[in-house]
């Protein structure tokens, strides 16, 4: 196997089924907040 080399350690699913990738825990927590807001906005529509 030849895994890709990248700096990402974390990911969060988005409402459009894509993902947000981050390399630090602080960025990961911020992505969670942003993506939850996107989910809530989409549910309200």
Q: Does 5 reside within a domain?
A: no
Record the pTM: 0.74
Q: What is the pLDDT of residue 42?
A: 85
Helix H or strand E encompassing 22: strand 19-22
Q: What is the pLDDT along the chain (45 residues), one digit of tens a residue?
A: 887 888 889 999 998 899 999 999 999 999 999 999 988 988 888
What is the greatest pairwise CA distance in the chain?
A: 43
Q: Does 40 reside within a domain?
A: yes
Task: Single out the residue of 38, 44, 45 nearest to residue 16, CA to CA.
Answer: 38
How many separate domains does the chain show? Answer: 1
Q: Does 1 reside within a domain?
A: no
Q: Does 23 reside within a domain?
A: yes
Q: Does 4 reside within a domain?
A: no
CA atoms within 13 A on the CB side of 6: 11
Secondary structure (3-state) at 10: strand
Q: What is the pLDDT of residue 3?
A: 79
Q: What is the pLDDT of residue 15?
A: 87
Domain limits for position 22: 10-44
Secondary structure (3-state) at 42: helix
Q: What is the pLDDT of residue 27?
A: 96
């Amino acid at each position: 196997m030849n895994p890709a080399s990248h700096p990402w350690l974390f990911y969060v699913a988005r409402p459009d089924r894509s993902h947000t990738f981050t390399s630090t825990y602080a960025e990961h927590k911020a992505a969670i907040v942003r993506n939850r807001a996107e989910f809530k906005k989409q549910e309200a529509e």
